[in-house]
Chains A and B, each alone.
Chain A
Amino acid sequence: GENVEQHPSTLSVQEGDSAVIKCTYSDSASNYFPWYKQELGKRPQLIIDIRSNVGEKKDQRIAVTLNKTAKHFSLHITETQPEDSAVYFCAALARRGVPTFGRGTSLIVHP
């Protein structure tokens, strides 16, 4: 089945810096890659997603890039703010259509 690796497990940045979280996947048939943000004690919420016919997608301070050949995709957050502090999960939609999640990255933005 699909296997999704996510790095780093913890990322600490200063407010205003950029943050990059990377994921790799194993199933070349996967073609949908969502990113979820989960604040402490709250539900995961979709923040951005990308499909395999697109190489990059941007939404304000958040962008996602996809390299299908290398089977990796990344989340980029620019001008980080304290409210960006949360756990971020990447996921890949596998062949049978059930998402496989990465282990999560705890992002800490220091004021």
Chain B
Amino acid sequence: DAMVIQNPRYQVTQFGKPVTLSCSQTLNHNVMYWYQQKSSQAPKLLFHYYDKDFNNEADTPDNFQSRRPNTSFCFLDIRSPGLGDAAMYLCATSTTLGTSGGAQYFGPGTRLTVT
């Protein structure tokens, strides 16, 4: 089945220790997104890629970086995690951008704990 896969599902890291979360998709979608979701809140967009074009949200901290080496894979790097970065990180894909729009397909998420 075509899907969005995230690894690992649970990640524990130490304060200040770099961590990388990964996302892969078999949908062949052009757009990949990274969201941060804290308890009882809406997903907060960190950045997205349209093909290789990277788009950073204005309020995304510099501590968060992303890579998309090919269509299928996208990575979220947190350079120096703080306690406030503990959250669920959701990867999503869609066929396209623009006001013609399209549904997003979400991965199962990675729950990040910072100790």
Q: Tell me the minimal C-beta distance from A78 to chain B in angstroms.
A: 23
Per-position contact with A for B13-43: 1 when CB-CB < 8 Å, else 0?
0000000000000000000010000001111
- A97→B42 contact, CB < 8 A: no
Which residues, 86 to 111 on A, are CB-close (under 8 Å) to B? 89, 93-99, 101-104, 106
A62 to B40, CA, bound (A): 23
- Of all chain B residues, the one with the shortest Cβ separation from A100 is B45
CB-contact partner of A96 in B97, B103, B105, under 8 A: B97
CB-contact partner of A101 in B43, B96, B109, under 8 A: B43
A43 to B108, CA, bound (A): 5
Which residues, 85 to 114 on B, are CB-close (under 8 Å) to A? 90, 96-109
A51 to B90, CA, bound (A): 25
- B48→A98 contact, CB < 8 A: yes
- A93→B42 contact, CB < 8 A: no
- B99→A49 contact, CB < 8 A: no
A75 to B99, CA, bound (A): 21
Chain A residues with CB under 8 A of B55: 98
A-B CB contacts (within 8 Å), total count:
58
Given that A43-B90, A44-B43, A102-B42 are contacting pairs, would A97 and B106 also be in contact in the complex, using a CB cutoff of 8 Å? no
- A99→B99 contact, CB < 8 A: no
Given that A96-B97, A98-B48 are contacting pairs, would A49 and B41 also be in contact in the complex, using a CB cutoff of 8 Å? no
Per-position contact with B for A28-39: 1 when CB-CB < 8 Å, else 0?
011110101000
- B101→A32 contact, CB < 8 A: yes
Pairs across A and B, CB under 8 Å, 22 listed: A30-B99, A31-B99, A32-B99, A32-B100, A42-B108, A43-B90, A43-B106, A43-B107, A43-B109, A44-B43, A44-B90, A44-B104, A46-B104, A96-B97, A97-B99, A98-B55, A99-B104, A101-B42, A103-B41, A103-B42, A104-B40, A104-B42
Instruction: Give chain B's interface residues, CB within 8 Å of chain A.
Output: 33, 40-43, 45, 48, 55, 90, 96-109
Q: Which 10 A-B pairs have the closest CB atoms?
A: A32-B101, A97-B97, A93-B101, A43-B106, A101-B42, A97-B98, A46-B103, A44-B106, A31-B99, A43-B108
